Amino acid sequence: MTYTQLAIGSVVLVVLADLWVLRTRMVTRRVFWTAYAIMVFFQLITNGMFTGFGVVRYDGEAIIGETSPDVGPPPFLGEGRIAFAPVEDLLFGFALILLTVALWVLWGRRGVQRTPWAGPPIWRKSR
């Protein structure tokens, strides 16, 4: 499988899980899309730095667009890239964020929480 196929598959699986398995329906909420817009902005910055400086390199046959390491750094925009990073990175990021938020909401509905509950540490005595 190529990186592109895995990225698209992960988005499809997580959206299906959100809508029909977990039933959190996060993709239908405006608050999710607002939070995602904030997160994707920072994802583009970090992915762009890693890819633009050559810390991370991708095989041109596995992603959308062509990339040749002999030519130099990848383009900032175009050839299947946004801020130097392949579009597939945005797909994977979306799937990871959606799954995390959906599980967070699901577990919150079921009353799963850390013990002890949030607040000051139990070894501290209040005055």
Quick: pLDDT tens for 40-65.
999 999 998 998 888 888 877 778 87
Q: Report whether pLDDT(116) > 60.
A: no
Query: What are the structural domain ranges in the chain?
Result: 3-109
As a whole number, the mean pLDDT across the chain is: 86
Residue with the larger pLDDT of the pair 15 and 114 = 15
Residue 77 bridge partners (DSSP): 82
Q: How far, in whole angstroms, is CA 35 from its chain's centroid? A: 12
Give me 59's structure tokens: 């095989």
Reference 91, options 8, 20, 5, 35; nearest CA is: 8
Which stretch of DSSP H or E encloses residue 41? helix 30-52
Whole-prediction pTM value?
A: 0.80
Q: What angle do CA 101, 83, 30 make, to 5 degrees?
A: 30
